[in-house]
Amino acid sequence: MLQTHQNPVYEYARSPDQDAATPVHHPLIVVGAGPVGMAAGLDAATQGIPAVILDDNNTVSVGSRAVCYAKRALEILDRLGCGQRMVDKGITWNLGKVFFRDDQVYSFNLLPESDHHRPAFINLQQYYLEEYMVNQIERSPQLDLRWKSRVIAVQDEDDRVRIRVETPEGEYSLTCDYLVVADGANSGIRKMMGLESSGQVFQDRFLIADVVMESDFPPERWFWFDPPFHKGGSTLLHRQADNVWRIDFQLGWDADPEEEKKPENVIPRLKAMLGEDTRFDLEWTSVYTFQCRRMDRFRHGRLFFVGDAAHQVSPFGARGANSGFQDTDNLLWKIKLVLEEQAPDSLLDSYDTERVPAADENILNSTRSTDFITPKSKVSHIFRDATLLLAEEYPFARSLVNSGRLSVPSVYRNSPLNTPDTEIFDSPMQPGTPSTDAPVNDDAWFLQQIANNRFNGLYFSQSAGSLNSDEQAILSNLASDSPVPLNLLVVDLDPAASCPAGVAPIRDSKGLLKQRFDGRPGTFYLFRPDQHVSARWRQLEPKKVAQALARATGRS
Amino acid sequence: MIETRKLNTQPALKRPDDFYNALVDMHRELNEEQSQLANAKLILLLANHIGDEEALEEALKIAAEGLG
């Protein structure tokens, strides 16, 4: 098979920790250098926490695997320093098309609103993402990524976690304050700890084929139900970087995975789909089944399970890796505050409170998509086909067609860290919501301005262009008295207007901050370090901001 | 019997015999499989027309009442 990509081999290197007389202590150890584990490590470093990342392998993902990265994941990767390379190399797409048998049923645009920095989705082979993350980790003096290092024992002691690591040169022990477990769907540590992940196994098999071809197919997501070239099944076509195309065939439960992935069986399927005359090369094939399941809790003492180790979904909807990034995005700022004794240990419980419902939301959505794509009973098959038959001409039915509800970030609606709204806002940016984006300043974006791993405040002043003396005093005190690092931004201050220390102006270059946040005069938004809205008011009252900060950091 | 709050279970069709006949008539030229598909399409069309989630939930409950 042709290879457009050569997997790098990362050398095992002996760590001085292996020669220490007693186990060396680290604040944070991450197990697993997949995308989510590396995101945890990079997030730690951006927060200023040194971290060790252990991986039992010595290369990146074999095969393209997770290919769809959603807007929110890209925004998180921006904060971690890898977003731009992803977007530069990846294939940007917003449009999806759905076909039933011979006909196009409808198309959808995932990002109907313009003026966001990042697109709805990019497609990129997982190995590129992992390489970019490894490169970024290698640049950080605070991170130590150790290859060929398998964790073989974990002990959660009262004040620390003790682990045993196996390397090509023998075993050694380490201790840490917190262990982030990112060792994947078959998490060895989960099993070691006697913990379960329970849910539903789907009785179906899917064939993935990555093919290399020069083609003028547009960069869109094409999904076929029961197409003429693959009767009775579904098929998905997606473009990746380097002219590699991902094609996914539903095979049914009785298919023999070893037989199906042989080129002599894959190629006829592809020819039926692409046409006899289309020239292509097969790059990678794989047959997969999937489960939708999660652990009861993701926090176990000083251990935090993230990504597939904590929860698994079907691939429809791209909710695997994308939700894993939201896990670490949620967790690391909390660990930072607790390590620095700016927040109590109980703040870390909110990782469960916020991410368990998020996992349920992802599982629910991906289960429903799976049920639509592969109906489990005759009657659900009939309803599925009835929906698709109606959808081509009758718009109402299009909203029922479910070829995957594509990943959108979870809103932590009921989080105890939120300060609930008490006033009316004509903006969906309610507490618990990840912030929207907007162009600001000169060629910059709002989310970049609040990607500083601190709490941020956004203020729309009483009178346009300036701050009165009360406002100046309040903002100045907020900045200096905050118990946790807090940055304050004031919208559209005149260049000559006075601006107190700790407060920075931000220019609403297209008026979209005001529009998207319903920023009437006096409005103040408080954002957490993960860019989720924590509270918002129509008037700036220091006491309320202090209370909201206390809530958001688990101090009340 | 299930009490309903939103779903009208009182007579609302002006010419009930005509509707009933049209409903059965719709299936006259259809085979078993086509009939099932037509029924499913009909349910989807009517559900969307009704739109009210509570009324639909009540209808779903009554439809399955005493069957399973």
Q: Domain boundary at A367, A388, A409, which?
A: A367
Bridge partners of A31, per DSSP, are A54, A181
CB pairs under 8 A between A and B: 27
- What's the pLDDT score for residue A134? 98
Question: Do residues A71 and A179 both lie within one domain?
Answer: yes
ipTM of this complex: 0.97
Question: Do residues A454 and A330 both lie within one domain?
Answer: no
Number of domains forming the structure of chain A: 2
Residue A355 included in any domain? yes
Q: Residue type at B20?
A: Y
Question: Do residues A363 and A464 both lie within one domain?
Answer: no
- What's the pLDDT score for residue A556? 87
Q: Copy the structure tokens of residue A145.
A: 């990524």
User: Residue A385's closest chain B neighbor by CA?
Assistant: B37
Q: Is residue B45 within 8 angstroms of chain A, CB to CB? A: yes
Do residues A429 and A525 touch, judged by C-beta distance below 8 A?
Answer: yes
Residue A161 belongs to a domain with what CATH number? Answer: 3.50.50.60
- What's the pLDDT score for residue A502? 87
Question: Do residues A61 and A188 both lie within one domain?
Answer: yes
Q: Is residue B31 within 8 angstroms of chain A, CB to CB? A: no
Q: Contacts of residue A386 in chain B, CB cutoff 8 Å?
A: 37, 40-41, 43-44
Question: Do residues A47 and A132 both lie within one domain?
Answer: yes
Cβ–Cβ below 8 Å for A385 and B37: yes
Question: Do residues A363 and A447 both lie within one domain?
Answer: no
- What's the pLDDT score for residue A218? 86
Domain that holds residue A529: 439-552
Residue A471 belongs to a domain with what CATH number? Answer: 3.40.30.120
Residue A275 included in any domain? no
Cβ–Cβ below 8 Å for A382 and B36: yes
Domain boundaries, chain B: 31-68
Cβ–Cβ below 8 Å for A390 and B45: yes
Do residues A116 and A74 touch, judged by C-beta distance below 8 A?
Answer: no
Q: Domain boundary at A367, A386, A407, which?
A: A367
Do residues A373 and A402 touch, judged by C-beta distance below 8 A?
Answer: yes
Alpha carbon of B14: minimum distance to chain A alpha carbons (Å): 27
Residue A203 included in any domain? no
Question: Do residues A498 and A350 both lie within one domain?
Answer: no
Residue A273 included in any domain? no
Cβ–Cβ below 8 Å for A390 and B37: no
Q: Residue type at A475?
A: L
Do residues A514 and A491 touch, judged by C-beta distance below 8 A?
Answer: yes
Alpha carbon of A433: minimum distance to chain B alpha carbons (Å): 26
Residue A326 included in any domain? yes
Rounded CA gap, A55 and A150, in Å?
6
Rounded CA gap, A475 and A485, in Å?
14
User: Other C-beta atoms within 10 Å of A97: how many?
Assistant: 17
Q: Contacts of residue B45 in chain A, CB cutoff 8 Å?
A: 390, 394, 396
DSSP state of A306: -
Cβ–Cβ below 8 Å for B37 and A397: no
Question: Do residues A341 and A453 both lie within one domain?
Answer: no
3-state secondary structure at position A53: strand
Q: Contacts of residue B43 in chain A, CB cutoff 8 Å?
A: 383, 386
Residue A50 included in any domain? yes
All residues at 6 or more sequence positions from A442 whose CB lies less than 8 Å from its CB, including other chains: A507, A509
Residue A460 included in any domain? yes
Rounded CA gap, A192 and A179, in Å?
14
Question: Do residues A473 and A353 both lie within one domain?
Answer: no
Cβ–Cβ below 8 Å for B44 and A382: no
DSSP secondary structure string for all residues of A218-241: -SSEEEEES-TTSTTSEEEEEE-G
Q: Domain boundary at A319, A341, A367, which?
A: A367
Rounded CA gap, A75 and A435, in Å?
10
Residue A385 included in any domain? no
Q: Residue type at A150?
A: R
DSSP state of A495: T
Residues in chain A with pLDDT < 50? Answer: none
